[in-house]
Amino acid sequence: MNRTMIAQVRIDEPARIEGFLEHVRNTRYMAFLVVRDRSGSVQATIEKQLHPEWAELLDTLSVESVVSIEGTLRENLQVKLGGRELIPIKLEILSLAAPLPLTKDSNIDTRMDYRWLDLRGEKERLLFEVQTCLVSAMREFLLQREFLEIHTPKLIAAASESGADVFEVGYFDRKAYLAQSPQFYKQMAMAAGFERIFETGPVFRAEKSYTNRHTTEFTGFDLEFSYIESFHNVMNLEAEMLAYALERVQKQFGEAIERHYGTTVVVPKLPFPVIALPELYRELEKRYGYHLAESERGDTTTEAEQLSYRFSMEEFNHEFLLITDFAAEKRAFYHMRKDGVPQGYDLVWRGVEITTGAQREHRYDVLCRQAEERGLGEDVKFYTEFFRYGCPPHGGFGLGVDRLTMMLLGTGIKEAMFLFRGPNRLTP
């Protein structure tokens, strides 16, 4: 008999189900086994005197063992789990579980140590269903607009963003680095005439940060497109893409997210509000007494990002805020500048940066000058070469998938990733 998913088993029809034992209650006359597969759970009810041959097996059964059960589903309104129960005629242990090292109250580090057990929960599974939905909706949005999906190398000869925070790896008899972003190669695709590309893949940052939003390896959703007029085209595309994806998530998972995470999915209105950073600091000072020295105001701070959520809700009734006009020295050398102002933005959602984007400097001589200012001349020569033989004006952004998921559900970054990587964590 073929396996049937638990959610598909019909009343009075024989079926074989397989899954983890969520719960075992073995009493003198009766045994109750709750079996869970990816579709749901069901109780199997065993009248022990009908199956004396299972007595020993039932005594050894432990929670989270994997079992195979054949039987017939019957209606029984006394059963709490959906008013139905499976009456088994065959029972087999496929894999016996040792006593569990994890409980529902385990702390986050123990949960991470045994992540595969932690992930068995319905709430944890939901997160990955939501993330799958989000990313596939974003991909679909871009494919509809003729973007190509590319895959760029993560082993590279030079640092990709600033030279800092880069992991060095041995590469035969020399050194290589792990890509801090697909930035350079996204732009190479523009020089190759692809016009519109995106990539979703691993991004490495050698940052010793111990916050609930930093990790040393995350998944980036990056895109780049040509023939833009300004970075406003980039901001608009991102806003439309996110509204599209969040609408999909709300439809498919809004209720479940509310139930498991207590967070409401709000489909954002278009366009997203925009504010220049100096103006934002004036507002935060005026409204909430947040004061920051003039010399610090060229970049956002963690507190400013958090307060900007309050501001954005009060002023625009919007969870997202696009922030522009950062100081040139705080932004990557490849951002285009106009009158000294970088032509880019950060997107902050519910008080946390989820994206940095910009129009890029595509003029070879200006780009080389901006790289040299940072002392990056030789390191990035392979990159500046991309702009010597004709390259259209272009821009793009990098969106952190883990940050996006985490903000959507209101978790920390560790829970929002399949496996978290931090300065103190390389296993499992």
Tell me, residue by residue from 205 to 244, as one string, x for binding to ligand 4AD by CB under 6 A and - for no binding: x-x------xx--x-x------------------------
CA 238/CA 347 separation, integer angstroms: 9
Closer residue to ligand 4AD (CB): 220 or 273: 220
Nearest to 368 by CA among 351, 342, 388: 388
Residue 183 makes contact with ligand 4AD by CB under 6 A: yes
Task: With contacts defined by CB under 6 A, name the span among 37-45, 53-61, 293-301, 399-407 that binds ligand 4AD.
Answer: 399-407
Nearest to 123 by CA among 32, 35, 253: 253
Count of alpha carbons within 13 Å of 156, Cβ hemisphere only?
24
Residue 22 lies near ligand 4AD (rule: CB under 6 A): no
Say which residue the tokens 């989270």 belong to.
Answer: 64
**Which is nearer to ligand 4AD, 19 or 400 (by Cβ)?**
400
354 forms part of the interface with ligand 4AD (CB under 6 A): yes
Q: Which stretch binds Mg ion (CB under 5 A): 174-182, 271-279, 311-319, 354-362?
A: 354-362
Q: Does the protein bind ligand 4AD through residue 355 (CB under 6 A)?
A: yes
Asked if residues 422 and 212 have their Cβ atoms less than 8 Å apart, the reply is: no
Q: How far is CA 284 from CA 70, 124, 223, 317, 356, in A?
A: 64, 36, 31, 16, 21
Q: Which of 19, 254, 396, 422 binds ligand 4AD (CB under 6 A)?
A: 396
Stretch that binds ligand 4AD, among 15-23, 109-117, 118-126, 352-360 (CB under 6 A): 352-360
User: Which of 83, 52, 89, 49 has its CA nearest to residue 69?
Assistant: 89
The whole-angstrom separation of Cα 342 and Cα 347 is: 15
Decide: 354 and 241 in contact? Cβ < 8 Å: no
The three-point CA angle 73-78-81 to 5° equals 60
421 forms part of the interface with ligand 4AD (CB under 6 A)? no
Quick one: which of 4, 308, 356, 384 contacts Mg ion (CB under 5 A)?
356
Give the count of residues interacting with ligand 4AD (CB under 6 A). 21
Question: Does residue 357 bind ligand 4AD (CB under 6 A)?
Answer: yes
Measured distance CA(319)–CA(315) in Å, rounded: 11
Interface ranges with ligand 4AD (CB under 6 A)? 181, 183, 205, 207, 214-215, 218, 220, 353-358, 396-400, 402-403
